[in-house]
Amino acid sequence: MKTKEQLIKYCIIIVLTIGLAICIAMLFPHVRQMIIRFGERLLHRETSIYQEWFSMLLSYAIGGILLIILSGYCLLTASGKTLARKMKNEIRDCLSEINWRSFIKPVLLMSGVYLLGIMTIIRANLLYNDDIWRSIIGIGRWYDWSRYVSELFSIFIHADFHLTDISPVPQLLAIFFLAVSSVLLVYVLNNRKITIIALLASIPLGLSPYMLECLSYRFDSPYMALSVLASVVPFLFLSNKKAFIFCSIISLLIMCMTYQAASGIYLLITLFLCFKDWNYKQKTNREVFIFLGQAVLSFCVAMALFKLFLMKPSDSYVSTATASLQQLFSSVLTNIQTYANFINSDFGFIWKALIGVIFCFFIAKSVFTSAQNKMISFLAAIIFLGLLFVLSYGIYLALMKSLFFPRAMYGFGVFLAIISIYIASNFNRIAKIAAFALSWSFFVFAFSYGNALADQMRYINFRAGILLQDLSALYPNENENGIKLQLNNTIGFTPLVRNIAKHNPVIYRLVPEMMRDDMFTYFYLLSYFNYAPFNTANLNLESVNREGEQYVDFITLDLPVVLKTYFHTIRSDGKRVLVELNEGVK
C-alpha cells in the first residue's frame, strides 16, 4: 500500500515539476516567441495578433505557476491534504442532503415546455449569424472571446475538432441545461420546495425574448445555456461556507469561459436570498452580511482570476476594457441608461404592463409578509428591485464599449423569473395569475419569433437568388475572382415580421435582416451558394473591412449603373461591384 502511495506521490511530483518548468520557461520572451512561431507553422499561417498572444502567454504562465503551487500544496503537504479532504467531505455532505429523484419530473416538465417553445425556431432551419461561417468553415474560435469551456465542450458535442451542423442536438442540449437551471432556481429560492406554479413562473429564464436569440444559434446555444446553469449551481452548497465559496469560484470561472453575459445571475440570486432572509428575519443581520460578503468575495476572486489569467483582451464590436476610476461612475450610468432604453423600446405595452404588475405584487408581498417595519420594508423592496434590475446586466456595466445585442441581455429574463417565482409562491391567487400571464406571453411570442425566422429566411433566399442570378449573368466567368463586392442598404423585413413588431418591437432586433454590408451576408452569398467570381478571400480586404486603412466606400466612386431592377441596382466598373438593395413596399 505504501509503495502504491509513494508511486502516486512521485508521479504527482514529476508532473508538477514538468508543468512548473514549462510555465517558468514561458516567462522568458524568447520562449514565448518560439511557441507562437511553432503555432503559426502548425496552422500554416501567421497570426495578426502577435503582441496580444505574446502577453497572453505571460498571463497563462503566471497563472499556471500559481495553480501548480496550489495543486502541490493540496496534494503533497499534510495540511493541504487535510484541507482538500475537508472540502471534499463538505461538498459530498451538501450533495447528500439533496433528494435528486425529486428533480426528475420537474426537469422533464420544463424540458418539454422549453422544447415546445423553441419548436418553431428549430423548424425555421435558419443559419443564425455566426452559424453561417461556422457551418462553412468548421471552426468555433470561441477562444477568441476567452470561452475555453465552450471550445472544449464543442469537441465532445460534435465528436470532432472540426465542427459540422448537427442541429437540433445543440439546441436540445441547451433546453436541457435551461430546464435544469429553472428547477434549481425554484429549489433554491423556494426553500427547497418545487411546485408546478413556481416552475411555470420561471419560464422567463428560458424563453424571454433575449434568451430566444441565444437558442437561435445552432452552435453556440448550449454554451450560452450552460452559463446560466453554472451561475445557479453554487447555491446548492449554501449549507456549508467553504463548499459554497469553492464551488462559487469554480462555477463562476466556468460561466466566464462559456458566456460572460450571465455574470449578473449569481449576484441576482445572492441579493434575493439576502433580502428574503433580512425581510423575514430568518437570519440575523450579521449572518446576512456574512453570507453577502462570502458571495461577493467569491465573485470578485473569480472575476480577478479570469481577468488576470484567462481573459483575452478584445476591442472589436465589444471591448473588454473597463473605464478608469475617474470615468467609471459616468460610464456605468451611461450603460445603465442604454440598457434601460433598449428594454423599454424592445418591449410592447402588454409586456411592460405585466412586468409592472408583478413588480407591484413583489412590493406588496415584501411588505405584507415582512417581519421588519412595514415602511422600511416598502422602501427596501423598491430599492432592491432597482438594484436587481441594474445587476441583471452583470459585468458588462463596467465596460467602456459594452454589448447590447439581445443575447447579451438575457440576465433581464432571469431577473423576471426570480421575481415571478417569489410572488407565485405562498401568496394570493391574482399574483400567481400575473406571473403565469407573463410566462404565457413569452411562451406565445416564442412561436411568433420562430415563424418570423422561417418567413424571413424564405425572403432572404428569394432576394439572394435573384441577385446571384443577375450577378452570374453579368459575371459568368468563374476565373474573375479579383472582383470585389459591396452591398448598400438592406432588403428590410417581411410583412409578417413587421406585423409582429407592431406590439413586440424586439422582433426587429431578433430576426436577422441579412442581405446587407456585413460579414455574415458575404459569407452567405458567396460561400453558401458557391458563387466563384466573388469569393470569401475578399472578406478581409476593402469590401467589408471597415476598420482597416484600405476600406473604400464604393458609394463615393460614382460607379456606372449596369443593371437596374425593382429589387436592386447594380453598379460596376468591372473590378468593383456595388449592389444597392431596395426594401420594396413597407
**Does residue 540 surpass a pLDDT of 60?**
no
Interval 462-490 mean pLDDT: 82
Q: Please, what is the average pLDDT of the chain? A: 85
Instruction: Look at residue 279 and tell me if it is in a domain.
Output: yes
Beta strands in 433-502 (DSSP E): 484-488
Which grid cell sits at 428? 394570493
Q: What are the pLDDT digits (tens) for 101-153? A: 999 999 999 999 999 999 999 999 988 988 888 888 888 878 777 788 888 89
**Does residue 82 surpass a pLDDT of 80?**
no
Interval 31-39 mean pLDDT: 67
Domain match, 257 and 385 both:
yes
Instruction: Look at residue 437 and tell me if it is in a domain.
Output: no
Instruction: Look at residue 341 and tell me if it is in a domain.
Output: yes
Instruction: Look at residue 54 and tell me if it is in a domain.
Output: yes
Q: Which residues contact 40 (CB under 8 A, 6 or more apart)?
A: 46, 47
CA atoms within 13 A on the CB side of 142: 24
Which grid cell sits at 457? 429566411
Instruction: Look at residue 31 and tell me if it is in a domain.
Output: yes
Contact 183/208 with Cβ under 8 angstroms?
no
Counting the structural domains of the chain, the total is 3
Cα end-to-end distance, the chain, whole Å: 80
Instruction: Look at residue 94 and tell me if it is in a domain.
Output: no
Is the CA virtual torsion 221, 387, 318, 507 positive or negative? positive
Domain match, 41 and 141 both:
no
Q: Which residues contact 454 (CB under 8 A, 6 or more apart)?
A: 120, 123, 124, 125, 126
Contact 449/119 with Cβ under 8 angstroms?
no
Q: What are the pLDDT digits (tens) for 255-280? A: 999 998 999 999 999 999 999 999 99
Q: How far apart are CA 500 and CA 443, in angstroms?
A: 15
Interval 93-100 mean pLDDT: 86
pLDDT computed for residue 50 by the predictor: 47
Show the domain range for 400.
Answer: 102-427
Domain match, 37 and 159 both:
no
* 509 Rama sector, left if φ>0, alpha if ψ -120 to 50, beta otherwise: alpha
**Host H or E run for residue 380:** helix 374-391
Question: DSSP code of 312?
Answer: P
Domain match, 394 and 454 both:
no
Q: What are the pLDDT digits (tens) for 494-527? A: 999 999 999 999 999 999 988 887 778 888 887 7
pLDDT computed for residue 86 by the predictor: 80
Pick from 409, 461, 408, 410: nearest CA to 125:
461
Q: Which residues contact 231 (CB under 8 A, 6 or more apart)?
A: 251, 252, 255, 262, 263, 265, 266, 269
Pick from 393, 424, 432, 387: nearest CA to 275:
387
Domain match, 129 and 52 both:
no
Domain match, 201 and 260 both:
yes
Distances from the Cα of 372 to the Cαs of 277, 380, 428, 481, 526, in angstroms?
A: 11, 10, 20, 74, 65
Domain match, 364 and 408 both:
yes
pLDDT computed for residue 549 by the predictor: 47
More confidently predicted of 44 and 579: 579
More confidently predicted of 305 and 61: 305
**Does residue 532 surpass a pLDDT of 70?**
no
Instruction: Look at residue 87 and tell me if it is in a domain.
Output: no
Radius of gyration of the chain (CA): 27
Which residues are 488's β-sheet partners? 580
Domain match, 49 and 106 both:
no
Question: 0.85 cut: is pTM over it?
Answer: yes
Q: What are the pLDDT digits (tens) for 572-584? A: 888 888 899 988 6
Range with the largest mean pLDDT of 54-58, 337-341, 400-404? 337-341
**Does residue 36 surpass a pLDDT of 80?**
no
Q: What are the pLDDT digits (tens) for 307-322? A: 888 787 766 666 677 7
Pick from 422, 425, 420: nearest CA to 436:
420
Distances from the Cα of 161 to the Cαs of 110, 312, 365, 399, 523, in angstroms?
A: 32, 21, 52, 32, 22
Q: What are the pLDDT digits (tens) for 371-411? A: 889 999 999 999 999 999 999 999 999 888 888 999 999 99
Domain match, 400 and 459 both:
no
Place of cell 437540433: 168
Instruction: Look at residue 440 and tell me if it is in a domain.
Output: no
pLDDT computed for residue 146 by the predictor: 79
Which residues are 563's β-sheet partners? 570
Percent of the chain with pLDDT over 70: 87
pLDDT computed for residue 533 by the predictor: 58
Domain match, 419 and 568 both:
no
